[in-house]
Chains A and B, each alone.
Chain A
Amino acid sequence: MRLAVLGAGAVGSSVAELAADYGHTVTALADSSSAVVDPDGIDVASALESKQTDGVVGTATLDDALDGAYDVLVEATPTTLGDAQPGFGHVRTALERDRHVVLANKGPVAERYADLRELERESDGRVLFEATVGGAMPVLSTIADFDADHITTVRGVLNGTANFILTRMAAEGLDYEHVLAEAQDLGVAEADPTFDVDGTDAALKFVILANVLHGNGREYTLEDAEVEGIEEIPGSALDLATEDGRTVRLIGEVTAAGEVRVGPRLVPANGTLAVTGTNNIVQLETEHAGRLNVSGRGAGGPETATAVLADVGRLDEN
């Protein structure tokens, strides 16, 4: 498959680097101010080197990339709320050209699911978005295999930064501010960790899950989710939980009634949901096959790129 990769950050650059390994050709790579385009395949290494040294991937523009030759558009620009732009516009252009789209960007599926599906219906292209929920973990493909109608509820941990903070607080008896600073030093938390700790990032993923599970009936956006973060949870709360054989995790849920909730919850300290560090887990409650747990690395450049390339592989099969 020929891939046009929009976004040359952690995810986009990893997709570009790994594509050849999966038998695909990168025909375009773009960042916020530049692009490199070649219908026969760009030189990924030199484009990324030029980004390092000159801050640009090439001399072309993003529009050149969008209008160039590709079978699949990989959208890996920043997730934005509300109108989900500019990602949504990129997706529209590709679908109107009857190209496939693989999203790492959560915006279009979390905030404009109905619009997206509408565009997809009118296109010969398909949209896949495994990478938007739980990085490398095969969550959406598992749901697709089991059939969304046969899954009653989904719950789990889908933010590694918040999980790391809660794990450290419980293990070391340290307070929130201290552990957050440590996480930033380690590169686990970003300089602005707001969306990770206030629950927005996890909520976007559970909204996407709600759209996938209940999407035929109604459209979910972030506004439909009841969201509470982990900011300022005192160490004493974790101590009391630990004393009782429990711990606190930022848990998201899509309930059987179709509500989306994210917030700190008490869970058994040695239970399945109490994954440690930056790990993620999703528990699917199935109608005929009991409970299914999918866990692993929920974020990271190569991890997320792996999920993107798995989607590309699925499109290739059809």
Chain B
Amino acid sequence: MSDSTDEVRAYTVRLELVDEPGELLRALHPIADNGGNLLSIFHERGNLTPRGHIPVEVDLEATPERFEEIVDALRDAGINVIQAGTQHYSESLTIVVSGHIVDTDLSHTLSRIQESTDATVTDLSLSAPEGTDDVSSARLRLAAEAGATDATLAAVRDIAHEKDLRLIEPLTAGDAA
């Protein structure tokens, strides 16, 4: 079975922006307009490129075709794209954790995952039908670097174990479906 969401990949784009108000917003439009999903923006204010521009690193998710359209649209809009297509993250992993998620400090769990793996948490949904002090579940989407899926899962397993949370892993062997 093909799962069309599997085709969505995470990309990092480095842009150089002129230091003018509204520039960043102008740069983000072509991403959203072309079906990209913005993951994070790293805006190094105060740090200038040799040409006197502000470097901005944008992480986004898109299908490979859409990604090309996004880069073209950025360039058409006169934005200086200095590096694109560095497929920084290429594997999207979904996991579900259950247990006393909130009591065990969800945000700490998330930052532990980010610290101990090279993955980024790109999406979070919480379901706590019995209230947050009872057993609840969270679904996390992680963007992991290509080839780092196993290492990421191993680290997540350790964190879940340490926090006494129940982990439901994705079936990752091959393109299992």
Contact = CB atoms under 8 A, between A and B. Distances in A.
B125 A155 contact: no
Interface stretch (A1-9, A13-21, A71-79, A231-239): A231-239
A240 B176 contact: no
A240 B125 contact: yes
B171 A267 contact: yes
Interface in B115-161: 125, 127-129, 135-139
A160 interface: no
A148 interface: no
A234 B137 contact: yes
B1 interface: yes
A241 interface: yes
B3 A271 contact: yes
Interface string A250-270: 010101100000011111101
B88 interface: no
Contacts of B128: 236
B106 interface: no
A273 interface: yes
Contact of A234 (B5, B98, B169, B177): B98
Contacts of A62: none
Interface residues of A, number: 32
B137 A240 contact: yes
Question: Which interface residue of A155, A266, A271, A285 has the most chain B CB atoms within 10 A?
Answer: A266
A172 interface: no
The interface residues of chain B, by DSSP majority, are classed as: strand
A237 B96 CA distance: 6
B171 A265 contact: yes
A266 B129 contact: no
Given A153-B174, A241-B96, A267-B177, A236 B169 contact: no
Nearest to B139: A240
Contact of B166 (A233, A251, A256): A233
Nearest to B99: A234
Contacts of A267: 170-171, 176-177
Contact of A271 (B98, B125, B137, B177): B177
Nearest to B97: A237
B28 interface: no
B96 A271 contact: no
A246 interface: yes
B39 interface: no
A235 B171 contact: no
Interface in A281-295: 283, 285
B25 interface: no
Interface string B93-121: 01110100000000000000000000000
Contacts of B1: 268, 270-272
B82 interface: no
Contact of A233 (B5, B94, B168): B168
A244 B94 contact: yes
Interface string A204-238: 00000000000000000000000000001111110
Contacts of A245: 3, 5
B81 to A, nearest CB: 32
Given A266-B95, A266-B168, A273-B177, 17 more contacts: A153-B173, A232-B166, A234-B98, A235-B129, A236-B98, A236-B135, A237-B98, A237-B168, A239-B127, A240-B137, A243-B139, A245-B3, A265-B170, A268-B1, A268-B177, A271-B1, A285-B174
10 contacts: A235-B129, A237-B96, A240-B96, A240-B125, A240-B139, A245-B5, A246-B94, A253-B171, A264-B168, A267-B177
Interface of A: 153, 155, 232-237, 239-241, 243-246, 248, 251, 253, 255-256, 263-268, 270-273, 283, 285
Interface of B: 1, 3, 5, 94-96, 98, 125, 127-129, 135-139, 166, 168-171, 173-174, 176-177
Nearest 3 A/B pairs, CB to CB = A271-B177, A236-B127, A236-B137
